Amino acid sequence: MYRIGVDLGGTNIAIGIVSEEGAIVAKKSVKTGASRPFAEIMKDMADCILALLADQKISLDEVSCIGIGTPGSVNNETGMLVYANNFKDCENIPMRELLQKYIDKPVYLGNDANVAALGEVISGAAKGVNNAIMITLGTGVGGGIVINGQIYEGQYAAGAELGHILLVKDGEQCSCGRKGCWEAYASATALIRQTKHAMIDNPNSIMNEMTSIENVSGRTPFDAMRKGDAVAKEVCDTYIEYIAAGMVDLMNIFRPEVFIIGGGICNEGDTLLVPIRKYVNAHIYGGDRNPEQKIAVAKLGNDAGIIGAAFIVK
Amino acid sequence: MYRIGVDLGGTNIAIGIVSEEGAIVAKKSVKTGASRPFAEIMKDMADCILALLADQKISLDEVSCIGIGTPGSVNNETGMLVYANNFKDCENIPMRELLQKYIDKPVYLGNDANVAALGEVISGAAKGVNNAIMITLGTGVGGGIVINGQIYEGQYAAGAELGHILLVKDGEQCSCGRKGCWEAYASATALIRQTKHAMIDNPNSIMNEMTSIENVSGRTPFDAMRKGDAVAKEVCDTYIEYIAAGMVDLMNIFRPEVFIIGGGICNEGDTLLVPIRKYVNAHIYGGDRNPEQKIAVAKLGNDAGIIGAAFIVK
C-alpha cells in the first residue's frame, strides 16, 4: 500500500506517493494560485494526485490515505482548514470534503510546520525517535512537536507556536502582536533587521561595500564575517546566541531525543552549529547530569512536508 | 483493586490507598528523616504502607501497584532515583529494589511536580482531560506536563523544567545557573525579593510598618495592597504580569485543555486570577481566533502527589 502526501504552499502544491517505509516513490507539483477560490485549488490538487498515480501506474486501491500539510490552523475532526493568512478569504474551508468530491479516500489535515517535523521523524534527521522538536528559521520561527511518534498540536490545534515564547519580555515587536517573542530575534527576518542596524551604525563595515541596505539577506553578515569583518562577526554571534537561547527553553521543557533545526540558515553548517552546541551545553538545565542534547539539521528539505503529511495518521 | 500512592517529601512521607476511581481511601504519614541512609527511609516507607493496609484491613492481594513521587530525577526503566538535591548523598538510589525487598508489587517512580500534575488530571482541577500543564509557584517554579493522560518528562526524565524558560534573556540570576529564567521572576522567592527591594526604595510604604525586611513573606505585598498601599500594588501588578507572561509562553507551546496553577499564592484567588486572565487573553497567540484558554487553581493540595503517584502507570 501507498500513502499520498500533499504539501500545500502559497506558490506550489507538491504531491508525493509515499511508501509505508516513508520513502517518496514519485512526486509531481502544480501551481497553487493562492488567490483563486479554494474549491479550484482543491480540484487541481485532486487532478494532480490522480495524474501522478496514473503516471506511476498505481491504482487508487493501492492508496490507503491522503494527508495534506497546509499553512494555518486545521481541525482534523471536521476536516476543515480553520484559517490561513496565506490564502484569500480563507476561513473554515471544508478541505476534506472538497478533495473527497474527486477522490474517495480518508483525508487527514495538518499544519505545515507540524507535518514537516513529523516527516523528519519518519525518514529524516530524527528517524525512528519517539520525541522530537523541530524549529524552522525563516520569515518567522516555525515549530513542530512530535510526541510518541505523533504530532502534538494542542487544543484547537493552536499549540506548537514555538516561535512565540519570550526571549525578552517587552522587547522587540513581534508579528503576533506581542513584544519580545523569540521569533522577533531568531527569524531570518530578524537577522536581516539586525544586520541593517549594524550597517547603519558602522559605516566602515565591509557589509556596506558588499551590498546596499535594501539588498541585505541572511547570508550578508555570515559572508562578511568570513571576510574578517568584526561588525559582521558581532551580528552573527549575537544572532546565534538568540537562536540557542530559545532552543534551551524548549529543551528544558521537552528534552527531546533530537532537536532539529531547519531553514536556509542551516546551510551555514558548523558556523551555526558549533556555537549553538557550546551555548546549549553551558545553559541547559542540569547540563552536566545527562548526556549531551542531540541537535541535528533537517535533512529532507521540502520533502519533509510530503512525507509527514502522508503519515499524519499512522 | 487499590493502588498505593507515595508522596516522598523532604520532611514527610505521605502514603495513600487510592481507589481505581482516583479517590484516596485512607492516608498515613511518617517522618522522612532526609539525612539518613536511603535504605532506612525506604524501610520506613514500606512499614508505613503495610501498617496503613493493616489499619484498613486491605490485603496486599487487593493492591495492584505502588507509585512514588519524589523530588529529583528518576529513571522508571531501572527503578532508580538518579539524583535529588533534597536528600543526602543521593545519587543512583535503587528505590524500586529497596522497596520490593519488603513488598513484592510493581513499583513506579515519578518526579513530584510531574506526579502532582497527573493527580490534578486524575481527580482534581483538570479531571478527565487529556492534555494539561501545571505550574507550582513556590520556592521555585515547578512544572508538570500531562499529554494523552500521561506524564511527559522527556529523555532522561530531564524535561518539564517549566520554570527554566527565559522571561528576560541575561536578566535576574536563577538558581539553575542561567540568567533570566521565569522562575527568577515568578517564584514566591522572587516575589519576596521584589517586595524587599520595593520596601527599601520606598521607606513610606506601609509595608515597612507591617513587617521588617527579614520577615517579608509572599503575603506581605498582597496584604498591603488591600490596605491601599500604592507601592505594594505596583509590586503585585508586576509580579502577576511575570507569572502571566511565562504562562502565555507555555500556552503558545501546548495550548492545554486546562492550565493549572498551584502553590500558596493561589490563596489570593481572584486577586491573582482576574489580572492573569486579562493578560493571557491579550497576549496568547491567535487569541481572538479560539475560545478562551481555561485556567484553574490546583484543587488537591498535597493529595495531588499521592493520587498522581498511584497512577504513574495506568
Cα separation, A68 vs A115, whole angstroms = 9
Please compute Rg for chain B using Cα positions.
Answer: 21
Q: What's the pLDDT at A86?
A: 72
pLDDT of residue A116: 96
pLDDT at A41: 95
State the distance between the two ends of chain A, measured CA to CA, in whole angstroms.
Answer: 13
Question: Looking at residue B155, what is its pLDDT?
Answer: 94
How far is it, in rounded angstroms, from Cα A263 to Cα A272?
Answer: 12
Q: Given pLDDT bands bounded at 50, 70 and 90, which one contains residue A287?
A: confident
Task: Nearest by CB to A166, from B155, B167, B251: name it.
Answer: B167
Residue of A252, A283, A284 to mutate, testing the B interface (most B Cβ within 10 Å of its Cβ): A252
Q: Which residues of B touch A151 (CB under 8 A)?
A: none
CB A218 within 8 A of CB A187: no
| Cβ neighbours of B297 (radius 10 Å) | 18
Q: Cβ-count burial of A36 within 10 angstroms (0-12 exposed, 13-18 middle, 19+ buried)?
A: middle
B30-66 burial code (b ≥16 CB/10 A, e <16): bebebeeebeebbbebbebbeebbeeeebeeeebebb
Nearest to B64 by CA among B99, B107, B29, B28: B107
Contact A165 B165 (CB under 8 A): yes
Joined grid coordinates for residue A160: 506548537
B168 and A165 within 8 Å at the Cβ level: the answer is no
Q: What is the pLDDT of residue B90?
A: 80
For residue B308, give the C-alpha cell.
498522581
**pLDDT category, A91, cuts 50, 70, 90?**
confident
The pLDDT value recorded for residue B170 is 97
Predicted pLDDT of residue A191: 98
Name the residue facing A158 among B145, B250, B290 (closest C-beta). Answer: B290
- Give Rg (Cα) of chain A: 21
Query: Which residues of A are less than 8 Å from B256 in CB distance?
Result: 154-155, 159
Closest to B147 in 3D by CA, of A112, A254, A295: A254
Nearest CA in chain A to B82: A289
Q: At what angle do helices B188-201 and B230-254 cross, to 10 degrees?
A: 150
Nearest one of B243, B244, B237, B210 to B224, comparing CA atoms: B210
Give the model confidence (pLDDT) of B242-293 as tens digits: 999 999 999 999 999 999 999 989 999 999 999 999 999 999 998 878 899 9
Set of chain A residues whose Cβ sits within 8 Å of the Cβ of B174:
none
Dihedral sign for Cα atoms in the order B84, B87, B92, B95: negative
Taking an 8 Å cut-off on Cβ atoms, the answer to whether A168 and B165 are in contact is no
Q: Is A142 left (phi over 0), alpha (psi -120 to 50) or beta?
A: beta
Residue of B nearest to A92 (CA): B289
Closest Cα in chain A, distance from residue B252 (Å): 5
Return the exposure string of A128-142: e unless at least 16 CB atoms fall within 10 Å of the residue's CB, then b: ebebbbbbbbbebbb
Mean per-residue pLDDT, A138-144: 93
Return the residue of B nearest to A91 by Cα. B289
- For chain B, give every residue range classified as CATH 3.30.420.40: 2-123+302-310, 132-297
Distance from CA of A51 to the nearest CA of B (A): 37
Shortest CA distance from B83: residue in chain A: A289
Least trusted range by pLDDT, from A12-16, A87-91, B175-179, B222-226: A87-91
Write out residues in chain B with pLDDT < 50, as ranges.
none
CATH level 2 (architecture), domain B2-123+302-310 = 2-Layer Sandwich (3.30)
Q: How far is A247 from chain B (nearest CA, A)?
A: 10
CA distance A77 to chain B (A): 16
Concatenate the DSSP letters of all residues of chain B into one string.
Answer: -EEEEEEE-SSEEEEEEEETTS-EEEEEEEE--TTS-HHHHHHHHHHHHHHHHHHTT--GGGEEEEEEEESSEEETTTTEEEE-TTSTT-EEE-HHHHHHTT--S-EEEEEHHHHHHHHHHHHSTTTT-S-EEEEEESSSEEEEEEETTEE---GGG----TT-SBSBTT-SBPTTS-BSBTHHHHSHHHHHHHHHHHHHH-TTSTHHHH--GGG--THHHHHHHHTT-HHHHHHHHHHHHHHHHHHHHHHHHH--SEEEEESGGGGGTHHHHHHHHHHHHHHSTTTTTSPPPPEEE--STTHHHHHHHHTS--
B132-297 folds as Nucleotidyltransferase; domain 5 (3.30.420)
Indicate if ipTM > 0.85.
yes
C-beta atoms of B286 and A249 within 8 A: no
